[in-house]
């Protein structure tokens, strides 16, 4: 997905900048909770509560409780090996974009030796089997609706390879916080087996509840280990198809793989669009009939009702 230009310069998006930084400058948790409560109430009035999106099972309640208190909740293997094979087969000839430097796009068979992190393009993600079905599944939409207390918006959808490489890690592989919206969560899905040497996601337990600095920054491994007990760091490992939910307003990182590359799907659910992005929904030719409001930033589907409503 393309990032919006939030500072003055070519393609500067002043409205995006204003809306993005308006939530960045409010750092007190109590004030943020007030704004979130007001926004979720307005969205429930406008779009409904999203109660029809979830079943409220014991497993969903446990995941919600864990996500609320820890910031991290394992969800189990929501894709099976055959579905992961389908996804990788679809992507085998699709182009990747280097996240760290400007260079021509390339396929998985043409990966440069120095590459660390690369993304697939949205148009290839929305046509990939199983991904939109998973992102719109009752289990995930239900968790998002409960966590946000309103009908969620899918505000980002990405597929990323992380590769073992010599030299310094990518900035994306250092501890940091995200600031995507007033309130949001991400569901991360491993599409390859991930062990300690394959770039597991690491999350600092409970850090989403702490006050974040106005100016976001990176944290060194030494700084984290000096300030927090090892038991506070939650490392997500699992076989392909393993899913987990995280509130990435907390401190986290994707570890740099040391032995095996990692392919990971990211689905972001939020109250509002993430104004860090410049949205360009892709045509969706598939058979799924998806909720237009939930998916409005990601896909265009003419068969859905309310086609004349604005995207944002």
pLDDT digit string (tens) for 137-183? 999 999 999 999 999 999 999 999 999 987 666 677 899 999 999 99
- At 51 the pLDDT is 66
Residue 1 lies in a domain: no
Residue 201 domain-assigned (yes or no): yes
Contact in structure between 54 and 142 (CB atoms under 8 Å): yes
Distance of alpha carbon 38 from alpha carbon 219, whole angstroms: 32
Alpha helices in the chain (DSSP H): 14-24, 29-47, 58-70, 81-91, 122-126, 131-135, 138-148, 221-227, 292-295
Identify whether 242 is part of a domain.
Answer: yes
Does some domain include residue 312?
Answer: no
Give the pLDDT confidence score for residue 52 in this predicted structure: 65
| The pLDDT value given to residue 308 | 39
pLDDT tens digit string along 252-306? 999 999 999 999 999 999 999 999 999 999 999 889 989 999 999 999 976 444 4
Q: Is residue 270 part of a domain?
A: yes
Residue 116 phi, psi (nearest 5): -115, -50
pLDDT over threshold 70, residue 41: yes
Average pLDDT of 123-140? Answer: 96
- pLDDT score at 7: 87
Q: Cβ atoms within 10 A of the Cβ of 307, count?
A: 10
Is the pLDDT assigned to residue 34 strictly greater than 90?
Answer: yes
Strands 299-300 and 282-283 turn out to be: parallel
pLDDT at 62: 93
Cβ atoms 77, 59 nearer than 8 A? no
- As a whole number, mean pLDDT of residues 63-71 equals 97
Q: Is residue 67 part of a domain?
A: yes
Residue 54's pLDDT band (boundaries 50, 70, 90)?
A: low
List of E strands, 142-215:
153-162, 184-190, 201-204
Range of the domain at 139: 14-300
Is the pLDDT reported for residue 246 higher than 70?
A: yes
Model confidence pLDDT, tens digit, residues 101-121: 888 999 999 998 888 999 999
Q: What CATH number is associated with residue 266? A: 2.60.120.620
What average pLDDT is seen over the chain? 91
* Residue 6 placed within a domain: no
pLDDT, position 154: 98
State residue 55's pLDDT score: 60
And the tokens for 166?
Answer: 């010599």
Question: How many domains does the chain divide into?
Answer: 1
CB-CB contact of 146 with 51 (8 Å): no
User: What backbone phi and psi angles, to 5 degrees, belong to 204?
Assistant: -85, 110
The whole-number pLDDT of residue 157 equals: 98
Instruction: Assess if residue 269 is contained within a domain.
Output: yes
**At residue 126, does pLDDT exceed 70?**
yes
């Amino acid at each position: 997905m393309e990032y919006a230009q939030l500072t003055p310069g070519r393609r500067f998006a002043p409205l995006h900048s204003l809306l993005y930084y308006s939530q960045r400058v409010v750092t007190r948790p109590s004030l943020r909770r007030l704004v979130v409560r007001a926004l979720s109430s307005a969205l429930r009035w406008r779009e409904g509560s999203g109660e029809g999106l979830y079943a409220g099972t014991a497993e969903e309640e446990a995941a919600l409780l864990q996500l609320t208190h820890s910031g991290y909740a394992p969800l189990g293997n929501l894709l099976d090996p055959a579905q992961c094979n389908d996804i990788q087969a679809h992507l085998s000839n699709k182009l990747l974009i280097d996240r760290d430097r400007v260079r021509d796009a390339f396929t998985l068979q043409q990966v440069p030796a120095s590459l660390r992190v690369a993304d697939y393009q949205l148009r290839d993600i929305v046509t990939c089997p199983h991904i939109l079905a998973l992102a719109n599944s009752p289990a995930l939409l239900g968790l998002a609706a409960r966590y946000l207390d309103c009908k969620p918006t899918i505000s980002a959808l990405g597929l990323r390879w992380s590769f073992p490489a010599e030299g310094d890690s990518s900035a994306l592989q250092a501890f940091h916080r995200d600031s995507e919206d007033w309130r949001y969560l991400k569901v991360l899905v491993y599409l390859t087996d991930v062990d300690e040497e394959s770039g597991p996601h690491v999350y600092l337990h409970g850090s989403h509840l702490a006050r974040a600095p106005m100016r976001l920054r990176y944290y060194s491994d030494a700084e984290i280990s000096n300030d927090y007990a090892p038991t506070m760091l939650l490392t997500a490992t699992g076989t392909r198809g393993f899913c987990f939910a995280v509130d990435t307003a907390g401190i986290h990182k994707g570890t740099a793989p040391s032995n095996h590359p990692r392919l990971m799907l990211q689905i972001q659910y939020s109250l509002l669009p993430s104004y860090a992005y410049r949205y360009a929904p892709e045509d969706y030719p598939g058979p799924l009939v998806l909720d237009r409001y939930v998916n409005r930033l990601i896909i265009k589907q003419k068969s859905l009702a309310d086609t004349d409503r604005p995207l944002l």
